[in-house]
């Protein structure tokens, strides 16, 4: 895996530090370059090896940024970034995780009050010091205090969108090294939970010591926390990564055990005990007739080399990791009633995407080409409409939407895929849509999404979303709660009522695959599915690279037991059109 994301993150940090000091122009320049580097198909380290001119071929990357990229690839450091860090020694990511606190606010709080981290911020806000700063006031201070607890709690866990790519990079590294027979991610990341505390990886080898040395020598490892005979921990990308190495014969049992969840494993273990079997990380052991079973490997070992054998010996079908949350999966496996879960390759199109008409990065024509290149069979262009929650001129007016629809239809004539005209309309507090009826009637598909007033009570939130679902133009309820993982909790509606309304009115409920959202989530998908509502897995993509996020949406839907027929965009274009023209 390339280091593009790693270097892009450093440039984003540099931009934030510059913005915090009120430097003009440069922050946006570095952010554009960071975005281009992150999305570039060629590994940045390969371009850096070819010299400055090769790096400068990336859109938005000039001589100064190219020099910094090459400096980091060659030395592991960017001198000017270190200088900016020394001028403003703050936990920028931590502080800006509080909603409403941006880089400039961080700079001001540091200069005025010496705030460097969340603890300092809480102390200053609790003491009433922030309201005394010019341009802030009591309301700002109140908002900061309100967001602090949520930000601190969220900061203890990492987003799946950050941990999974890092884990995949480590797996690629380990699997390519001599002596490693198998390697797999474990823990909550293997179950595709939205967040995790760290990264757990399991490897199989007959040479445990060598694999540990290989792991601690991983180029992404910034610091070794500990290193033992069969396990070690490092910090990579600011995230703790734990590796455990087992002999090949015990890989299956270890993988089952360390994947979890705890609740799943307890029910699994109890089922084994009912059959005079003992389950642990070393295998399944027949302990019938034994008086002393304290030894972990006591008894006859009857399974453990493969994970499938662990389940088979208990008369269970293998259970996909996403389902292992003790929500009925073991009973379903015993009865042969596990769902045939949707697979990554079965999503055929994206119904919620954005072009540069609102806040995307590509033109209509470029966007269609990007979707074609990704392999989609159809695409809906659903740029933001004006309305509540839209700031900075992002949303399109009714006139803009009609003009865009004409442009989309013209571009679609030369496309090899089906292209739907659409809009992401804003859902107001009463459940109304921020686009006129006349314009909605002209569009193929309407995604209705809440973007504001996300702190209303549950009953009001339910009424609001049901009203949006009942609007005759609504086809998809986009990111239904409006949550942003680690930043804001979003609405808390009655999921059953929402699902039933969606089923009754032929509206698909979205699993927004952006890893900062994953809204709906697994449990909510299961509720929707049981009510008969359809799911739409959309990326909400603003750039071509974000089409890849579809995998997070697929695995989130799998956590909700979703099968292909439950998901609208596993259908072909003709069937999708029939659904939205109902």
pLDDT at 2 over 70: no
pLDDT at 394 over 90: no
Could you please state the CATH topology (level 3) that the domain comprising 158-246 is classified under: Beta Polymerase; domain 2 (3.30.460)
Distance, CA of 232 to CA of 217 (rounded, Å)? 11
Name residues whose C-beta falls within 8 Å of residue 331's C-beta, 6 or more positions apart in sequence.
Answer: none
* pLDDT at site 393: 66
Match 């884990």 to its residue by tokens.
167
**Among the listed residues 259, 245, 237, the one whose alpha carbon sits nearest the alpha carbon of residue 189:** 259
Domain ranges, ordered by start, for the chain: 4-155, 158-246, 256-334, 344-580
What strands lie across the sheet with 221-227, from one edge to the other?
182-186, 199-204, 239-246, 231-236, 221-227
Distance, CA of 85 to CA of 103 (rounded, Å)? 13
Angle at 18 between CA 15 and CA 20, to 5 degrees: 110
Question: C-alpha distances in angstroms, 5 versus 35, 220, 373?
Answer: 9, 12, 21
pLDDT at 1 over 60: no
Angle at 136 between CA 135 and CA 141, to 5 degrees: 180
Q: What is the CATH number of domain 344-580?
A: 3.20.20.140
* pLDDT at site 155: 63
Helix boundaries (H) for 156-201? 160-175, 187-190
Question: Could you read off the pLDDT of 417-435 as tens digits, one per residue?
Answer: 999 999 999 999 999 999 9
CATH superfamily, domain at 256-334: DNA polymerase, thumb domain (3.30.210.10)
Count of positions (residues) in the chain = 582
Question: Could you read off the pLDDT of 485-515 as tens digits, one per residue?
Answer: 988 899 999 999 999 999 999 999 999 999 9
Beta bridge partners of 508: 476
Task: Please report which confidence band the pLDDT of residue 580 belongs to, taking 50, 70 and 90 as the band edges.
Answer: very high
Secondary structure (3-state) at 163: helix
Answer yes or no: are the C-beta atoms of 468 and 444 closer than 8 Å.
no
pLDDT at 377 over 80: yes
Q: Establish whether domains 4-155 and 344-580 are of one fold.
A: no
Question: Could you read off the pLDDT of 111-160 as tens digits, one per residue?
Answer: 999 999 988 999 999 999 999 999 898 988 888 887 887 676 656 789 99
pLDDT, the chain, mean: 93
Give the DSSP H or E segment for 142. Answer: helix 138-155
Concatenated DSSP letters of 99-112 = TT--HHHHHHHHHH
* pLDDT at site 154: 58
pLDDT at 211 over 90: yes
Task: Give pairs for 120-129: CB < 8 Å, separation 24+.
Answer: 121/95, 121/148, 122/148
Q: What is the CATH number of domain 4-155?
A: 1.10.150.110
* pLDDT at site 553: 98
Give the DSSP H or E segment for 282. Answer: none
* pLDDT at site 207: 95
Distance, CA of 372 to CA of 362 (rounded, Å)? 14
* pLDDT at site 487: 83
Concatenated DSSP letters of 483-525 = -BTTTB------HHHHHHHHHHHT-EEEEE--TTT-BS-HHHH
pLDDT at 442 over 80: yes
Match 């975005």 to its residue by tokens.
35
Averaged pLDDT, 342-349: 97
Distance, CA of 8 to CA of 37 (rounded, Å)? 6
Name residues whose C-beta falls within 8 Å of residue 29's C-beta, 6 or more positions apart in sequence.
Answer: 15, 60, 62, 65
Question: Could you read off the pLDDT of 66-112 as tens digits, one per residue?
Answer: 999 999 999 989 999 999 999 999 988 889 888 778 899 999 999 99
């Amino acid at each position: 895996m390339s280091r593009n994301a790693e270097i892009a993150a450093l440039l984003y940090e540099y931009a934030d530090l510059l913005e915090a000091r009120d430097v003009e122009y440069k922050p946006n320049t570095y952010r554009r370059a960071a975005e281009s580097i992150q999305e570039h198909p060629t590994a940045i380290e390969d371009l850096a090896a070819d010299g400055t001119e090769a790096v400068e071929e990336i859109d938005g990357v000039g001589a100064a940024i190219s020099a910094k990229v090459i400096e980091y690839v060659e030395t592991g450091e960017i001198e000017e970034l270190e200088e900016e860090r020394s001028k403003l020694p703050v936990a920028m990511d931590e502080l800006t995780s509080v909603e409403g606190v941006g880089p400039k606010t961080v700079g001001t709080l540091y200069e005025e009050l010496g705030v460097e981290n969340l603890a300092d911020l809480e102390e200053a806000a609790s003491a009433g010091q922030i309201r005394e700063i010019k341009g802030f006031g009591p309301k700002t201070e109140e908002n900061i205090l309100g967001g602090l607890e949520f930000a601190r709690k969220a900061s203890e866990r990492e987003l799946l969108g950050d941990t999974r790519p890092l884990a995949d990079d480590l797996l690629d590294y380990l699997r390519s090294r001599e002596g490693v027979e198998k390697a797999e991610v474990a823990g909550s990341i293997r179950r595709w939970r939205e967040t995790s505390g760290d990264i757990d990886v399991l490897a199989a080898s007959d040479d445990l010591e060598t694999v540990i040395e290989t792991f601690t020598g991983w180029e992404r490892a910034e610091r070794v926390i500990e290193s033992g005979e069969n396990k070690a921990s490092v910090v990579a990308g600011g995230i703790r990564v734990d590796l455990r190495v087992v002999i090949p014969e015990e890989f299956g049992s270890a993988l089952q055990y360390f994947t979890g969840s705890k609740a799943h494993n307890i029910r699994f273990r109890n089922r084994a005990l009912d059959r005079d079997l003992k389950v642990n990380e070393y295998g399944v052991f027949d302990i019938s007739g034994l008086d002393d079973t304290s030894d972990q490997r006591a008894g006859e070992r009857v399974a453990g080399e493969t994970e499938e054998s662990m389940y088979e010996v208990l008369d269970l079908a293998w259970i996909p990791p996403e389902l292992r949350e003790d929500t009925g999966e073991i009973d379903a496996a015993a009865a042969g009633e596990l769902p045939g879960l949707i697979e990554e390759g079965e999503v055929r199109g994206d119904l919620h995407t954005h072009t540069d008409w609102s806040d995307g990065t590509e033109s209509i024509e470029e966007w269609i080409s990007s979707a074609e290149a990704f392999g989609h069979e159809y695409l809906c262009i659903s740029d933001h409409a004006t309305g509540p929650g839209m700031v900075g001129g992002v949303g399109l007016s009714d006139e803009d939407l009609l003009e865009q629809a004409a442009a989309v239809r013209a571009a679609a004539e030369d496309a090899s895929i089906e292209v739907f005209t659409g809009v992401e309309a804003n859902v107001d507090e009463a459940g109304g849509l921020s686009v006129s009826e006349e314009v909605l009637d002209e569009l193929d598909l309407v995604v209705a999404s809440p973007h504001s007033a996300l702190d209303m009570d549950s009953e009001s939130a339910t009424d609001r979303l049901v009203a949006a679902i009942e609007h005759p133009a609504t086809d998809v309820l986009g990111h239904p709660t409006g949550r942003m993982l680690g930043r804001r909790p979003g609405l808390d509606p009655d999921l059953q009522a929402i699902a039933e309304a969606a089923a009754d009115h032929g509206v698909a409920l979205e699993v927004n695959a952006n890893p900062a959202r994953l809204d709906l989530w697994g449990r909510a998908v299961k509720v929707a599915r049981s009510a008969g509502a359809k799911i739409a897995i959309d990326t909400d993509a603003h750039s071509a690279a974000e089409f890849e996020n579809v995998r997070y949406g697929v695995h989130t839907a799998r956590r909700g037991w979703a099968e292909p027929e439950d998901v609208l965009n596993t259908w072909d274009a003709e069937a999708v059109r029939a659904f939205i023209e109902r």
